[in-house]
Structure 1
Amino acid sequence: MNIRVTVWNENVHEQENRIVASVYPDGIHGAIAEGLNADPAIRTATATLQEPEHGLTEEKLAQTDVLLWWGHRAHGEVADEVVERVCNAVWSGMGMIFLHSAHFSKPFKRLMGSPCNLSWREAGERERLWVTSRNHPITAGLPNHFELEHEEMYGEPFGVPEPLETVFLSWFSGGEAFRSGLTYKRGAGNVFYFRPGHETYPTYHDANIQRVLLNAVKWAHNPAPRLADPNAAPNIPVSKALEPIEERGSRLHDDGEDGYR
């Protein structure tokens, strides 16, 4: 069975910046989807901010096993009801991958429960990504490190909760280091944050980056059925087996059962 993937992109830079449009003529979402669709086990669709309900209706999310999210300038334009819908899908078991500036998106901050702030510098610097978890599924088929000739710098401290695993560590030619590949569990959903992907550079055309995203989709996929209501706190009726010990012991003593005399 194919893994059903949706790539979400705010799709703003591509409409306003000729450099971005030339690097990603089909949009950042189109480039990411093309790379993922190269794997026959993955079937990828796209959605953008400009669509009704941002392209993320209840029906669409129900048909999405893994959602990738790229955002930068338009975080505040994402409707809160869509954010809640996305987070509920993650808590129910949908996989989620946040890319680059999506660290400051509403869904990521909601799921992390923290400021998710960092330092940054836009100077087209070389980025070297080191694999810090050699046997992790997300690093399969990758060298011990690889480089991107031009990227935006992100620097520590990164205001996120302690991750389950740090999969990649980035070094930049300006000297900074950054935890650039982090995994989390939120409810029944697997969450991965991956740092590279500034819009003016051809990052998503890079073979190693495409390999990371393919691996991450397969890692984030949860084949189990979705939880019906991840926010439910049902009251379970008391049965005889769950009676308070004192009452049960007194009753058993009176009845002469289970060794009581």
Structure 2
Amino acid sequence: MSARAPIRVTIWNEARHEQKNPIVQQIYPLGIHGAIAQGLADRDFLIRTATLDQPEQGLPQALLDDTDVLLWWGHIAHAEVEDGVVDRIQQRVLAGMGLVVLHSGHHSKLFRRLMGTNANLAWREAPGGDLERVWVVEPSHPIAEGLPPMFEVAASEMYGEPFDIPQPDEIVFMSWYSGGEVFRSGCTFKRGRGRIFFFSPGHETFPIYHDRNVIKVIGNGVEWTMQSHSDGRILENWHRPEALPSP
């Protein structure tokens, strides 16, 4: 049996906080996308990064066609993402591309479109952050592999219920915060032939993407969303936008 080809991962980040906020610049000198890429360097991934200010907002069709799993981080520039970019990502997810949506990506056009809801939630950004305890509530799930029953994020932005999303296919992680709130912090969904994983820890002014457990979750999420096809690759011409009949 031939060895599996490396998973082709594209890490997309709007990369706006890094331009404006010296605290974020200090924590993530290579950008949030760069920190995640470094954290995943020991995985069998072929990693590329992309940002909003690049041509075609970093995600031309050719790059998406060469991507097995897309990671998405956005926050203050959701409205700047063009609908055409969202359209082509959606079609790739429906065709089998994996999608990992991180932290405030819950309010992105992309995630809202795929969920069919506004994805609103309760939140609090306390000075110095909240203690977050991330509990593994589905320990047999592949995304939880190698993790302790619970791990702590010492300083985090509180995300709390109610979280306006459809019923997830699986809830892998639940978070508790020092204010007593709880949140479905790690959820999976299927859309078409694609798998989606949402994971909430990751506020930009805290070094959360330097945490080994958080990076392990993201890496496991990449592996799980990649498993849409037994042959390990996306069906190349499944419902491409140009192949759909005219209305």
Structure 2-normalised TM-score? Answer: 0.92
Q: For 1:189 and 1:148, how far apart are their aligned partners in 2?
A: 29
One-letter code aligned to 1:169: M
Cα distance 1:53–1:233, how it changes in 2: closer, same or farther (>3 A)? closer
Q: For 1:225 and 1:70, how far apart are their aligned partners in 2?
A: 23
Q: CA RMSD in A?
A: 1.2
Post-superposition shift, 1:229? 3.6
Q: Which residue of 2 aligns with 1:226?
A: 235
1:88 matched to 2:91: yes
Q: Which has the higher contact order (CA 8 A, sep 6+)?
A: 2
One-letter code aligned to 1:34: Q
Aligned-residue sequence identity (percent) comes to 55
Task: Give the unaligned 5+ runs of structure 1.
Answer: 235-261
1:51 matched to 2:54: yes
Aligned positions of 1:174-253 closer than 5 A: 174-221=179-226, 222=228, 223-226=232-235, 228-230=237-239
- The answer as to whether partners of 1:117 and 1:158 remain within 8 angstroms in 2 is yes
Post-superposition shift, 1:34? 1.0
Task: Give the unaligned 5+ runs of structure 2.
Answer: none
1:187-206 deviations in Å (ceiling 9; x for gaps): 00000000000000000000
Q: Which residue of 2 aligns with 1:169?
A: 174
Structure 1-normalised TM-score? Answer: 0.87
> What SS does the corresponding residue of 2:197 show, helix, strand or coil?
strand
Q: Which residue of 1 aligns with 2:40?
A: 36
Q: For 2:233 and 2:14, how far apart are their aligned partners in 1?
A: 29
1:65 matched to 2:74: no
- The answer as to whether partners of 2:68 and 2:233 remain within 8 angstroms in 1 is no
Post-superposition shift, 1:36? 1.4
Q: For 1:23 and 1:173, how far apart are their aligned partners in 2?
A: 23
- The correspondence for 2:138, drawn from 133, 138, 156, is 133
Q: For 1:67 and 1:5, how far apart are their aligned partners in 2?
A: 6
Post-superposition shift, 1:43? 1.1
Q: Which residue of 2 aligns with 1:106?
A: 109
- The answer as to whether partners of 2:27 and 2:206 remain within 8 angstroms in 1 is yes
Post-superposition shift, 1:226? 1.8
One-letter code aligned to 2:167: E
1:103-135 deviations in Å (ceiling 9; x for gaps): 000000010001100010001010000001011
Post-superposition shift, 1:227? 5.2
1:77-127 deviations in Å (ceiling 9; x for gaps): 001100101111100100000000000000000100011000100010100
Q: Which residue of 1 aligns with 2:13?
A: 9
Residue-pair matches, total: 233
One-letter code aligned to 1:156: E
> What SS does the corresponding residue of 2:189 show, helix, strand or coil?
strand
Detail structure 1 runs of 4+ shifted over 3 Å in the superposition: 231-234
